[in-house]
Structures are given as C-alpha cells and as structure tokens.
Structure 1
C-alpha cells in the first residue's frame, strides 16, 4: 500500500513548503486578478495581459491610466515594474499587485508594465533575471516603433523610462540597470549579529539561487561582492531608494545600498526616502494608508521631475 503522507523537503514558513514529491505550496500568495480592459471601476485604469516572448513564455500586465478624447494620444512616462516575493512568491497577476499598480498608474499618471517572471524552486535563479531582461528589451524595442503593442506606441514616452520594484523586485531593478550598462559574505546592520545566516534574505537567497558563486557574496546579491563590476556605469540617470523604518527584512540593506551608490563615483542623482513608522511593503499591503499615499506622492514627484 502506498502512503499518501507528504514529507517536507524544504520550507520557509509561513511562505512556502516544498515536499519531497516535488509539490510546492505557497499559502501566502494572493489570488490572481483578471485584467480590466474596459477600465477598473475604482481608478479608471485599463489593463490587459500580454505575452512578450513565446520562446521564454514571458508575460506581462499592461496598465494605462484613464484618458480623455483630448489626452488619448498623450505621451506618458513608462514604468517597468518587478514585483517582490523573494523570487519564490507572488505574481504580476495577483490581486495584491494588480490593485497596487492600478493605484500607482492612476495617481502618478504613467503607463506601467508589470513583469511576470518565473519563480523558484521550480525555476531557480538566474531564470527570473533572464525573464526580466527579456521584458526590459521588449519595452525598449518599441522605441523604434517596430513592435505592435499600441498602448506603448501611442502613449509611451521612451525618453522617460523608469524601472522599479519592491523587495526582490528592487534587487531585479539593480541587476537590470547593471546589465544595461554592461550589454567572502558581507553582513549589514542587524544581519551582522550572531545567527545572521538564519535571516530571511540570507535563507531566501540560498533557496532560490543555490548555485550562485560565493553564495550571498555573489554580485547579484551583494554589489560589493568579490568580482562585482564597477557601480560607476549603472545604466540610469536618477534613483530613488525607499525604505520603511520598521522593515526588519531589508531596511538596513536598503540604507546601505543608498550609501554605497552615493559613494561609488556613479554620476547620477540618488535620493533616500524613509517612512519611519512602517514595515515591509506597507505601501502595497495597505495602499489607502496616509503613509502609502505620501510615498506615492514622492514617487510621482520623482517621475515628473
């Protein structure tokens, strides 16, 4: 008689469990949300799902703010957004990120592309980076008017392209900017305490990229790691680093990143924005809060400069 009892192989509670039979459970994932091509009733934002690469099966969700007859051909800043989730959770199509992108697009008045990259452990890193780069290139390819996505052709301003993301998505942002310019483990803040190897960023990185040379000292995770390319050529002109004061996961790493970029010799402009009394991804979990609204206003002022 065959036993049906599941045996746990790996788990990062409460986020993910991988059983020895290969099945994966993600109890914290938000449910998927369908696009609203005829406008979201709350924000007026239209959205649609598209496939940008049949070979890689990369898909995105596009968001367009409400336009009038007078503004239907208005050129808007383009935001390429990478969702968070430690490279093993969430989706560009989840209700959590769908609601957040609707909010950002309606308030900041941008055209947004939310990138759906494949997740670990089914697809270990660097797979998510390759998906993200394919999406980045797909957006850029429209600047010559050769592609067929009408929202980008008619409404995208290719002189104002921004890339953004939260948590793991912010890591993708850095690596996409480094890749654009290129076409021993070090601990930070509370991570330096005894047992930092059990911290969530450390555990998650080794889970999603076990083959990474140098582990958490790999340049994809640690921009100052051995063999890391110079930060002076980072492929963007301006950067806004946002942190939350009570974020026990990556707040100190975010501040450290701001400091190394500021001192790196990179010629761009960099700013740090901190909301002291909030926690990890507060602006996505509670988009109606006053602090989340303040952060959106800061993002808006950064984009429309």
Structure 2
C-alpha cells in the first residue's frame, strides 16, 4: 500500500509526461535525437555541439564554406518549457533549413526543462547562452572561444528567436536586455516570436471562456513555474498583466510576430503585436499569419507549401539589416 501511494500520479500532461507523488517524472514523449554533422549535408550546413558554462548546451549551425561574416541567430526551441530539445530531429531539421536559407550562423540553445528544473531555470539558461554568444564579440582567438562565432559571426547582426515557449523566452530576453547590457555592448538587432506561448486568466478573442483552469495550457504553466507570483497572470506568461513591464522596453530594433489561424494561441499573438504597436516602442514591427494551419505546423510538417513560405519569411527577416 505504501508503494502504491508513493507511485500515485499527482500531475498528468498527456501525452507528454506524468509526475508522481514521490517527485519522479515519467516522460512519455521522448524526442528522437539527431547527431551533429561536419560532413556535407543536403542543406549545405555543418553542425556541432558546444557546452556553455556552467551547465548549458547548444548546437551550432554554419553554412558550409562561408566567405563572409554572417548574421547570428540565438534560437530557443518550443515544448511548453518541459519537452523537446535543441538536439531533436525536429529541431535539427528546422535549424538546418533556416541556416541554409538565411545564410546565418545559428546557436540553438538546449535549456534545462521543467518540472525537474522549474522556471526560471530556462530563462536563466537562455540568458547565459545569449551572454556567452556576446562575449565572442571581443574574445578574439583564445582557447575558450568558440571559433565559429569568432571567425564567422557578425555581431552587428545579432538576432534572437523561438517558437512557442521559445518565443516566450525570446520576449523575456528582449525585455531583460533593456535593463542589463550584453557583453561587449552587443545589441539585439531583431527578434522573431513564432506562435508565442502566452496565456492569462481573462480570455481573449476566440479563447474558451470556461474551464480555463483545467486546460492543458493552464496546467502546464502551473507545473513548470510553481513559484510564479501571480500564477497564470505572472508577467512571464501574461505580458498584458497589470504588473507586467511596458513593452516599449523591448531591446531590439526589429520584431516579427508569426501566428497561425488555427492555433489556440493565435489571438494572444495578435494581441501581443497590437500591444507592442500601442506601447510606444519605436522599432520596425510586423506580423505574419498563415491561414489554415495550427501550432508549430512548420516544424512538424516542413515539406508543405505553407511551411516553406514560413521558412522563407523567417530567412528574409534574418537577412535584412
């Protein structure tokens, strides 16, 4: 009987994971992992893995035979802060396509996942990775430097971006960079927020009015950030909350918000775009909506026409300066 109580399930986020009473996390979704490759690939992109002290990992992507300095994208994967990886087949395929089409150097961050490492761990890991990238703007050729960044990175064209939870992280870092300087005085040129993971207690647009506290989005947030002071209206998940900092503080010059018409987070993304536009932020702002598609469609089904259009739009955003 004691064993049964210890193994009792206290939280389920199906079909992704279960948390047991004794704290054990049972992961039901295990992503397939792709190895990095320094050989020629179909996308013409090399990749390798790196350790960012003290405990963050990343995968770097470099178009083969670069002959000029390249824009740098620091990317944060999605997965509700609790699943997926920078090393998964899905993420690897996606980043290879973007690196190839945008002719960009990408650092894809593998932040720690909740619930084993609840938020703000992912935010702190992502900030650590961004600062690590920025240190290379002045590091020169030393033993601790990442040679791809030193040799091929154009630090006047530093971008951040992510999908879903990764878009949430990108927003969080752009706000933080408005208060804390990046190493070497590096500035974030632009950010893309794709299908951003925002939520709140008050429904917006077509969001469901009832049963919000039983929804997967609500339960996921309460699991990944149990210490959030305002719960589902904490500024980290709800940038429109009363105590959220003003969006005019976003520390980038360019911003694109991408949404999909069939995504339940679509209206939050549009509201975010409107809120930035109304905030007094003085940068270049755009929104890109894909009709007839759902959340993260371009990652799951990259061969479709809509996914290819999405890649083209993101690549163009990274190429502009």
Indicate the TM-score class for this superposition, using the shorter chain for normalisation: over 0.9
| Cα distance, 1:3–1:228 mapped onto 2, change above 3 Å | closer
Query: How much has 1:192 moved relative to structure 2?
Result: 5.0
Equivalent position to 1:271, from 286, 308, 319: 286
Q: CA deviation digits over 1:5-35, x for unaligned, max 9?
A: 9431211111111122333233233122211
Bigger shift: residues 12-21 or 88-97: 12-21
Residue 160 of structure 2 corresponds to residue 163 of structure 1: yes
The Cα shift of 1:3 comes to 4.8
Bigger CA drift: 290-299 or 218-227? 218-227
Quick check: 1:144 aligned with 2:138? yes
Question: Which is further off, 19-28 or 116-125?
Answer: 19-28
Counterparts of 2:178 and 2:147, CA distance in 1: 28
Aligned counterparts of 2:23 and 2:289: Cα–Cα separation in 1? 40
Partner of 2:17: 16
Deviation at 1:292, TM superposition (A): 0.6
What whole-Å deviation, never above 9, does each CA across 1:223-274 have from its counterpart, x for those lacking one? 12232222112110011100111112x1111111111111111111111100
**Please, what is the CA RMSD of the aligned residues?**
1.8
**For residues 155-199 of structure 1, what are the alpha-carbon distances to aligned partners after superposition, in whole Å with 9 as ceiling and x for unaligned?**
111011111100000000000000000119433233351112223
Partner of 2:43 in structure 1?
Answer: 43
Q: Which moved more, 1:200-209 or 1:15-24?
A: 15-24
Aligned residue in 2 for 1:90: 84
Runs (5+) with no aligned partner, structure 2 = 181-199
SS at structure 1 position matched to 2:279 = coil
SS of residue in 2 equivalent to 1:62: strand
* d(CA) in 1 for partners of 2:291, 2:16: 26
Query: How far apart, in 1, do the equivalents of 2:203 and 2:226 lie?
Result: 18
Number of corresponding residues: 297
1:204 paired to 2:204 = no
Question: Using the alignment, how far apart are the partners of 2:305 and 2:237 within structure 1?
Answer: 32
Greater CA deviation, 144-153 or 256-265? 144-153
Q: Does 1:175 align with 2:191?
A: no
Whether the 8 Å contact between 1:185 and 1:214 is mirrored in structure 2 is no
Q: Is the 8 A contact 1:191 1:199 kept in 2?
A: no
- What TM-score do you get using the length of structure 1 for normalisation? 0.92
With over 3 angstroms needed to count, the CA separation of the structure-2 counterparts of 1:203 and 1:191, relative to structure 1, is: farther
Match of 2:56 in 1: 58
Q: Which ranges in structure 1 are unaligned for 5 or more consecutive residues?
A: none
* TM-score between both structures, scaled by the size of structure 2: 0.88
- The offset of 1:43, in angstroms, is 1.4
SS in 1 for 2:202: coil
Assess if the C-alpha contact under 8 Å between 1:49 and 1:62 holds in 2.
yes
1:93-123 Cα distance to aligned partner (Å, 9 max, x none): 1111111111111122110000010011101
Secondary structure of the 1:114 match is strand
